[in-house]
Amino acid sequence: MAIETLEEVRARVFAMPKPKCPACGQEMSIYEVPSINFGDGLGWGEPFLFVCFNDECPLYRSGWEHIQENYAHTASYRQMCYPSSGVFEVMTVFGHDGGKGQVVDDEVRRAEEALKENIKRGFNLLAQAYVDKDGVVVLRLLMDPTEPVRVRIKAAEMIGDIGELEAIEPVRNLRVGNEKLQGAIDAAVLHIHDRFFTRECPFCAEIIKRRAKVCKHCGRDVSGV
């Protein structure tokens, strides 16, 4: 069996249904094991675990007392589960937030919040550019692969509405992995042609008048095509 990269393990664990905590019944969270524990004597041998972070979980609540009585230090247990085998175990935590720093669910939530912010920012820029008829800003947002797809789709629609003929060349050459975005890009090119009563010469790909019978660039007969 091939050795998985951390990203592959992450993708696999994320795709798994999250188990329910046997102690409280609540859905468990994905926990990224801190690298300091991974591989040493404390390590669990897996980079991700499922952990119950329910503070009302009876295992966690009774754990404080149990450990205090038996081991004379302040700690408790959280229910955990190995993704590789589905085996349930308990992990010791030494404070209320013990282990919580690395809950991947929180990372995902933060990433989603950042995405929302970026979409808002992009839409504001686009709205202003649309009012200003500033095709350069719209084009820049459309071309930028780090912009959220929703922003780029909106930019494609706008460049169709306000883009000049010069915008066709860069837009037409844009190839993206997202099907919806590619569809919006292709539609934008057609929309610009519509507004300027132009089309692409099927022979040389230069922009010509829609009703042209002969291409002014390559001289071919384009009346029937």
Cβ proximity to Zn ion, 10 vs 18, nearer residue: 18
Cα–Cα–Cα angle for 65, 83, 93, rounded to 5 degrees: 25
Interactions with Zn ion, residue window 23-82 (CB under 5 A): 23-24, 52, 54, 57, 79
Cα–Cα–Cα angle for 72, 82, 46, rounded to 5 degrees: 90
Cβ of residue 56: shortest distance to Zn ion, in angstroms?
8
**Candidate residues 108, 114, 190, 204; the one interacting with Zn ion per rule CB under 5 A:** 204
| 197 phi and psi angles, rounded to 5 deg | 55, 45
Residue type, 198: T
Cβ of residue 88: shortest distance to Zn ion, in angstroms?
10
Cα–Cα–Cα angle for 109, 25, 76, rounded to 5 degrees: 80
Cβ of residue 215: shortest distance to Zn ion, in angstroms?
3
| CA separation for the pair 133, 220 (Å, rounded) | 35
Helix (H, G, I), strand (E, B) or coil at 198: strand
Under the binding rule (CB under 5 A), the answer on residue 100 touching Zn ion is no
**Candidate residues 13, 21, 51, 129; the one interacting with Zn ion per rule CB under 5 A:** 21
Cβ proximity to Zn ion, 54 vs 76, nearer residue: 54
Instruction: Print burial letters for 132-146: b (CB count within 10 Å at least 16), e (below 16).
Output: eebbebbbebbeeee
CA distances for 159 relative to 143, 178, 193, 199, angstroms: 11, 18, 12, 16
> The tokens of 2 are what?
């091939």
Interactions with Zn ion, residue window 124-183 (CB under 5 A): none
Cβ proximity to Zn ion, 9 vs 24, nearer residue: 24
Cβ proximity to Zn ion, 140 vs 217, nearer residue: 217
Point out which span in 19-27, 132-140, 162-170, 182-190 binds Zn ion (CB under 5 A): 19-27
Write the DSSP symbol of residue 84: T
Under the binding rule (CB under 5 A), the answer on residue 203 touching Zn ion is yes
**Applying CB under 5 A, what is the total number of residues that bind Zn ion?**
13
Under the binding rule (CB under 5 A), the answer on residue 201 touching Zn ion is yes
Cβ proximity to Zn ion, 63 vs 135, nearer residue: 63
- Most distant CA atoms of the chain, gap in Å: 94
Cβ proximity to Zn ion, 24 vs 162, nearer residue: 24
Cβ proximity to Zn ion, 28 vs 159, nearer residue: 28
Which residues are at the interface with Zn ion (CB under 5 A)?
21, 23-24, 52, 54, 57, 79, 201, 203-204, 215, 217-218
